[in-house]
Amino acid sequence: MTDAVRTVFEGQARHAWSIDQLHEVVCGALGAADYSSVFRAVTVMEREGAIRRIDLGDGKAYYEVGEDHHEHVRCDSCGRVAEVPGCVLDDATSGVQKSTGYVVTSHQLVFGGLCPRCAKRRSR
Amino acid sequence: MTDAVRTVFEGQARHAWSIDQLHEVVCGALGAADYSSVFRAVTVMEREGAIRRIDLGDGKAYYEVGEDHHEHVRCDSCGRVAEVPGCVLDDATSGVQKSTGYVVTSHQLVFGGLCPRCAKRRSR
DNA sequence: ATAAATGCAAACGCTTTGCGAGTGC
DNA sequence: GCACTCGCAAAGCGTTTGCATTTAT
């Protein structure tokens, strides 16, 4: 099962996968599969460091292949997620630290908007 | 009930309130109250625009008085939330738009780290 | 008497876990 | 036989809703 999930991630069909989405694809590939099995595979892979869990603000857990750090844009219309190359915030961190007194060790940022396709469809 | 909740927000004891936290305070103030009543009050107030719902990434819904836009820092240790004055990202938006092609209309950003108190306790 | 507010209990969406059955070594 | 994987069912957790009762007007 872990292999099946790994294959899905390698397929790159999406940038960020919810367990549901993974489950659906895995079912297609294997004929059948249980949600909990996908969940467990994902849990293992996360512990291994192969994938990283991200929060896109819609209450579901998403996973992406754990490479370099980057931010995300999510289309409010179709849900498609893209990666924002480079980190917008490394500089900001020290400013936050200065203004709030918190020792800042992480940040979680999601942009919202419309992906090119949906933006085009809207403007018609 | 709505008044009781409103009072809690006016008290400014916290920056961001979960429904649980509001519920607890309201119970103290009124003697008893149902979680769902607090939930409903919060829902109404959000629709009114008096408060805004925010997502701090821990799976719970938080609410803050809906003033100007700003970001948040959350202490990984005690959960205390502070406001990051000013918007770190207005400039970044156009860059994101350029690099991803998405029309960016919003962003949701939470810094994580340690609040001054917890940072001090840790270093002992 | 009528309409609004509240409490109670249950539904819901998604995640997580316990356990038994199946599979391979 | 033993360890491991998987499916099934159910438990959790927080949010949300339906309904009946209380409260206020």
Matching residue, tokens 């999510």: A74
Chain B interface, best mutation among A102, A115, A120, by max B CB count within 10 A: A102
pLDDT digits (tens, 9 = 90+) for B44-56: 999 999 999 999 8
- Surface-to-core class of residue A8, CB atoms within 10 Å of its CB (0-12 exposed, 13-18 middle, 19+ buried): buried
Is residue A51 within 8 Å of residue A64, measured between CB atoms?
yes
Q: How far apart are CA B49 and CA B118, in angstroms?
A: 33
Looking at the complex, report in whole angstroms how far the Cα of residue A31 sits from the nearest Cα belonging to chain B. 32
3 state DSSP class of A13? coil
How much is the average pLDDT of B40-47? 96
Sign of torsion over alpha carbons B46, B52, B55, B56: negative
Cβ of A104 near strand C (under 7 Å)? The reply is: no
Per-residue pLDDT tens, chain A, 124 aa: give them: 999 999 999 998 899 999 999 999 999 999 999 999 999 999 999 999 999 999 988 889 999 998 788 888 888 778 888 888 766 777 778 888 888 888 888 888 888 888 888 888 877 6
Q: Can you tell me which residue has the tokens 């970044």?
A: B92
Kindly determine whether residue A104 and residue B59, on different chains, have CB atoms separated by under 8 Å.
no
- Containing A73, the helix (H) or strand (E) segment is strand A71-75
Grade residue B4 by pLDDT with cuts at 50, 70 and 90: very high
In this complex, the residue with its CA at the shortest distance from the C1' of nucleotide D8 is A34
| Beta carbons of B64 and B51 less than 8 angstroms apart | yes
Please name the residues in contact with A110: beta carbons below 8 A apart, sequence gap of 6 or more. A55, A56, A57, A71, A72, A73, A74, B107, B108, B109
For residue B87, what pLDDT is reported? 66
Cβ atoms < 10 Å from Cβ of B38: 25
Cβ distance B85 to A107 less than 8 Å, yes or no, reads no
Which residue, chain included where needed, has tokens 């770190």?
B88
B1-67 classified as CATH 3.30.420.240 = no
Number of Cβ within a 10 Å radius of residue A48: 10
A91: nearest CA in chain B? B88
Q: In the structure encoding, which two tokens stand for residue B93, read together?
A: 């938006």
Q: Do residue A96 and residue B55 have CB atoms under 8 angstroms apart? A: no
| B11-14: long-range pairs with CB below 8 Å, 24+ | B14/B80, B14/B81
Looking at domain A68-124, its CATH architecture is 2-Layer Sandwich (3.30)
Domain definitions of chain B by residue range: 1-67, 68-124
Any idea of the CA torsion for B75, B79, B80, B83, to the nearest 10 degrees? 60
Q: Starting from the edge strand earliest in sequence, which strands make up the sheet with B51-55, in order?
A: B17-18, B61-65, B51-55
